[in-house]
Amino acid sequence: ETGVTQSPTHLIKTRGQQVTLRCSSQSGHNTVSWYQQALGQGPQFIFQYYREEENGRGNFPPRFSGLQFPNYSSELNVNALELDDSALYLCASSSRTSGSYEQYFGPGTRLTVT
Amino acid sequence: DAKTTQPTSMDCAEGRAANLPCNHSTISGNEYVYWYRQIHSQGPQYIIHGLKNNETNEMASLIITEDRKSSTLILPHATLRDTAVYYCIVRVSSKSTFGDGTTLTVKP
């Protein structure tokens, strides 16, 4: 069984640029959630995708967008990067068919915006 | 999702039981209690969850009070590798934000 993987591990971007982060979900999982974790804080929910459709969104502006593909992998796109977007971005997969919602997280992508 | 309250930090001696409390006084009837932990610079790791009954797995035990307004995560024999931030979350789906958790430091 393959766990959740994310790429890249680290990324440095300049303010105003755009970035795409990628996530491969755990085998058998059909739901992917994205989180932003600033230093010293808990993960903040960005949005969730289920069967290629957005299925819930946290308090993040529209410049944060995503995609889910037929194989359940996912992308997080952030446009017009701001300095405050510097954070660890986490992807978590889960299976709604299981009836419970335990999530399995990837190692994260550390984004630095300068 | 119901709000949770956890102590900011706790210490535990290696080999002793670590008991991490969580208050969730506004929990609704269909909300589960989940526990995750995050070791420095890694993604959070699922530990255990429960609805009403106490639960145990290979990692920990979860004790939920009868009124479901609080719970305790128990690591029966803490090791240095259990040093981490522990998050208690109450929810019906997988869409909620995590709080700031409890930083557990296991000391030799």
| Whether B32 and A100 lie within 8 Å, measured CB to CB | yes
pLDDT of A2: 66
CB pair distance less than 8 Å for B97 and A58: yes
The answer to whether residue B96 neighbours chain A at the CB level (below 8 Å) is yes
Q: Describe the strand order of the beta sheet including B61-64 as a list of residue ranges.
A: B18-23, B70-75, B61-64, B55-56
Q: What is the pLDDT of residue A29?
A: 87
Quick: pLDDT tens for A30-64.
899 999 999 989 999 999 999 899 999 999 999 99
* pLDDT at A98 (0 to 100): 56
* Cα–Cα distance for residue pair B62/B55, rounded to 1 Å: 5
Q: Which residue of B has its CA nearest to A39?
A: B41
SS3 A96: helix
Q: Chain B residues with CB inside 8 Å of A100's CB?
A: 32, 49
Tell me the nearest-neighbour CA distance from B14 into chain A, angstroms.
Answer: 25
The pLDDT assigned to A100 comes to 65
Residue A1 has pLDDT above 70, yes or no: no
Q: Which residue positions in chain B have pLDDT lower than 70? A: 1-2
**Mean pLDDT for the stretch of residues A79-94:** 96
What is the mean predicted confidence (pLDDT) over A1-29?
Answer: 92
What residues in A contact B100, CB-CB < 8 Å?
A: 40-42
Q: What's residue B97's pLDDT?
A: 81
Is residue A78 exposed (0-12), middle (13-18) or buried (19+ Cβ within 10 Å)? buried
B43 to A107: CB separation less than 8 angstroms, yes or no? yes
| pLDDT given at position A28 | 82
